[in-house]
Structure 1
Amino acid sequence: MEMAMIKRLAAGAAVLALVAGLSGCIVVSSSGGQKTVVTNTASAQSSSYADLYAEAVADPKRPAEEVARDPLRHPADILAFAQVAPGDKIADIRPGAGYFSRLFSDVAGPTGRIYAFVPNRTAERENPTADALAAAYPNITRVNGLLDSMTYAEPLDLIFMSQEYHDFHIPSFNTDVAKMNAAVFAALKPGGRYVVIDHQAAPGTGISVVGTLHRIEGDYLRREVEAAGFVFEGESKVVANPADDHSLNVFDAAIRGRTDQFVYRFRKPG
């Protein structure tokens, strides 16, 4: 435990030096055939946390079934892209079994806080799992609320959604997604990150297959989030799968776990 704290402090010192002396990395993304190039000083810090990310992935407390999914989910790459850092205050929206919440907890450390946000609509089913996470990790707290008016006890550094955003367009969720994105914007600190992973739908389909295939077109999602005031910073291709033709339901055994997914990072200006 003491060694982990020393590493976090050392990594933090390294980041301060990097931010003071470097102009940062270039994030290149593409949409609609046009490239977006963003100079991003903060991305310099994620490389200095590589050891912390590796330690989080190697944490023996992680369930074996989650570890078995690592080759497909690329957790260290996702932590780096999300720029998770010691002390971060993070909301994990619908954390499920806690795959990412556990990783966030380890990296954020004792000065950080992870809010496992469970929507009121699914609370009866999902609260017990979130409570178990909070019992096992002292820096995890369960929060319930409405997606389109979510609030937290403090301003956040990161709000994270993995394979959930598309569901909130399904009518039975009774969620105003524009208001949800506005609530995310309000909950973040100036400069805070909004990271979304989801299953890619075919070009031009928008949200038309969210209820049938559980997919959403990435470009459509990006436009919605940008409409809330966010700046699109880039995307990661670590969970992309060009062999997926976007025609199958994500739960179909022929593609489950291997869908073509996009990972987008947005930032609240400031």
Structure 2
Amino acid sequence: MNSKLFLAAALAVAVTAGGAYAKPDANQTAAVADKGRPEADTKRDADRKPAEMLEFAGVKQGQTVVDLIPGGGYFTRIFSKAVGPKGTVYAVGGPPRPSQDPSKPAPTPAQDAIAADANYSNVKSIHAPLAGGLSIPTKADLVWTAQNYHDVKNVPNIDMLKFDKAVYDSLKPGGVFLVLDHVAPTGTAPDPQDKLHRIDPAIVRKEVEAAGFKFEGESKVLANAADDHTKPVFDPSIRGHTDQFIYKFRKPK
């Protein structure tokens, strides 16, 4: 190989390792364009870049995807359309929260409402204590958790090695575990009070690799150098624009 070709190849590898991503395909773009998505979700697309996230995670038609701790279901609906009628999405969250008002029933969890919506009939809702790990009826192609890993670490009696190994066991050989979260300053220990809702990416990588995963790469598409990592993620000055890391891990075949 001549020197110019070698340099070009080396740069391509470096860009991939640094978190570059290919252009989302038509299926991924169509999933984000789904007209059934709530306006509150679509208004966040510019900040969350969901099509790029689908591409980086490798989401395709027919796959089995786990949306781990889906919250309001922002990604659940998108995954549903991206995997299509031959695919399945497991929305896996903790036990439903009780009603704050004893005179009124507890609100229906978003993941249950989405699973009951005929427009997202391939979504299955599972509620289980997170301290017990992750258990689904079949092996998955992707386990995805967005802005949640820092919360999992604060679950009472959680064993993170056990938790990450449960994720590992839930995946097919070659399956992907994707972790997206808010960046904490390098060397910062996990905060038991969870005041900032952030985590040092190095902690995530060390824990997930300890469970047997291989680190495959990082996307910088949600990086923000203007975030100094000192403010809570809900601070109005930074909310929706935090510096976020996206780590892709793979279960060896």
TM-score normalised by the shorter chain: which range applies? 0.7 to 0.9
Q: What is residue 137 of structure 2 aligned with on the other side?
A: 153
1:129 maps to amino acid: A
Secondary structure of 1:243's aligned partner: coil
**Number of residue pairs matched by the alignment:** 229
Note if contact 2:18-2:220 (Cα within 8 Å) is conserved in structure 1: no
Q: What is residue 166 of structure 1 aligned with on the other side?
A: 150
Q: What is residue 43 of structure 2 aligned with on the other side?
A: 68
Partner Cα separation in structure 2 for residue 233 and residue 127 of structure 1: 37
Q: What is residue 245 of structure 1 aligned with on the other side?
A: 228
Partner Cα separation in structure 1 for residue 148 and residue 137 of structure 2: 23
Asked whether 1:92 is paired with 2:92, we answer no
Partner Cα separation in structure 2 for residue 268 and residue 54 of structure 1: 27
Asked whether 1:236 is paired with 2:219, we answer yes
Structure 1 runs, 4 residues or longer, greater than 4 Å off: 122-127
Asked whether 1:182 is paired with 2:171, we answer no
Note if contact 2:37-2:77 (Cα within 8 Å) is conserved in structure 1: yes
Partner Cα separation in structure 1 for residue 66 and residue 80 of structure 2: 11
Stretches of structure 2 lacking an aligned partner (at least 5 in a row):
1-11, 99-105
Q: CA deviation at 1:173?
A: 4.0
Partner Cα separation in structure 1 for residue 163 and residue 128 of structure 2: 11
Note if contact 1:152-1:187 (Cα within 8 Å) is conserved in structure 2: yes
Partner Cα separation in structure 1 for residue 213 and residue 220 of structure 2: 21
Q: CA deviation at 1:142?
A: 0.3
Partner Cα separation in structure 2 for residue 159 and residue 149 of structure 1: 13
CA offset digits 1:157-211 (Å, max 9, x no partner):
00000000000112x5432211110100000000000001000000110313761
Note if contact 1:118-1:126 (Cα within 8 Å) is conserved in structure 2: no
Secondary structure of 1:85's aligned partner: coil
Q: What is residue 197 of structure 1 aligned with on the other side?
A: 180
Note if contact 1:96-1:126 (Cα within 8 Å) is conserved in structure 2: no
1:149 maps to amino acid: G
Asked whether 1:256 is paired with 2:200, we answer no
Partner Cα separation in structure 1 for residue 114 and residue 45 of structure 2: 19
Secondary structure of 1:193's aligned partner: strand
Q: CA deviation at 1:89?
A: 0.5
Note if contact 1:209-1:215 (Cα within 8 Å) is conserved in structure 2: no
| Aligned ranges 1:1-270 → 2 under 5 Å | 26=13, 27-29=16-18, 50-120=25-95, 122-124=96-98, 128-136=109-117, 137-147=120-130, 148-170=132-154, 172-208=155-191, 211-270=194-253
User: Which of the two has greater strand per residue?
Assistant: 1
Stretches of structure 1 lacking an aligned partner (at least 5 in a row):
1-24, 31-42
CA offset digits 1:56-101 (Å, max 9, x no partner):
1111111111111011000110000000011110110111111111
Partner Cα separation in structure 1 for residue 145 and residue 238 of structure 2: 21
RMSD: 1.9
Partner Cα separation in structure 2 for residue 235 and residue 210 of structure 1: 28
| C-alpha distance 140-234 of structure 1, shift in aligned 2 (>3 A) | same
Q: What is residue 36 of structure 1 aligned with on the other side?
A: none
- TM-score, length of structure 2 as denominator length: 0.85
Q: CA deviation at 1:263?
A: 0.4
CA offset digits 1:7-55 (Å, max 9, x no partner):
xxxxxxxxxxxxxxxxxx843138xxxxxxxxxxxx9xx76x6101111
User: Which of the two has greater helix per residue?
Assistant: 1
CA offset digits 1:231-262 (Å, max 9, x no partner):
00000011111100000001111111110000
Secondary structure of 2:246's aligned partner: strand
| C-alpha distance 245-209 of structure 1, shift in aligned 2 (>3 A) | farther
